[in-house]
Amino acid sequence: MIRYTFSILVLVLVAVIAQQFIPSLTVLYGSRFLLLALVFLCAAVTVPVPVMLLLAFVCGFLTDAQNTIGPHGGDPEVYTRTVEQLRFGYSILLYGFMGYLMHGIQPLFRQGQWQFSAMLSGVAVFLYLLVEYFLINFIRGGFVMNQTVLLKIACSSAITMTFSPLIFWLLFRLADWSGYTIRMDGLKKEKPRTLTA
């Protein structure tokens, strides 16, 4: 369990670094592939709740650390007005919410039906981006929701969900390597043998 958790944390760090090099897709309304969120969501369904909460803290902390730019929005000589931004730590709560959402279908995952977890990862990313957008609008003191924003959120969720089978495959390989058993009860059950006279 410790080796698997450590390997997931290394995978999270790799995802944070790789996220910096993934461009937004201008063709699809500026949508983005959210690698860090996907790694967290796929890993969250494979671990117990305490480890999921640790991952939510680490991923949320790293997300906020990347997006926080200081009290004046950067250099005070360039930016004269303060920027209305979310406070540091909000992503930790949102990641925790997404993790609990994934844990809700963990029994299906343990029965070998990982496809539901893959689809739920897209739903979780959609909810994450939507709540984040609502919070930003609340901080700014106004609410603007148009079709372009909704399409950007939907496309980002769909693109992220598309790569979930690859992340699940990688997690299964890491589990095999580290000796951690991701219990898939539906695949491992054997029929009871009956003795015939």
What ranges do the domains of the chain cover?
Answer: 2-181
Strand-pair partners of 31: 25
Q: What tokens does 145 get?
A: 């929701």
Phi, psi of 35, rounded to the nearest 5 degrees? -65, -45
Cα gap 175→4, rounded to integer Å: 6
pLDDT of residue 196: 53
3-state SS class at 120? helix
DSSP state of 87: P
For the stretch 99-128, pLDDT in tens is: 998 888 887 787 777 788 889 999 999 999
- ∠ CA 50-54-55, nearest 5°, is 115
Cα gap 138→68, rounded to integer Å: 18
Alpha helix (H) residue ranges in the chain? 2-19, 35-44, 49-67, 90-103, 106-110, 114-140, 147-162, 164-178, 185-188
Q: Average of pLDDT values for 41-60?
A: 92
Cα gap 147→29, rounded to integer Å: 10
On the CB side of 136, CA atoms within 13 Å amount to: 13
Cα gap 127→97, rounded to integer Å: 10
- ∠ CA 35-150-103, nearest 5°, is 45
Q: Average of pLDDT values for 123-149?
A: 85
Model pTM score: 0.79
3-state SS class at 31? strand
pLDDT of residue 190: 46
pLDDT of residue 105: 82
Cα gap 74→103, rounded to integer Å: 38
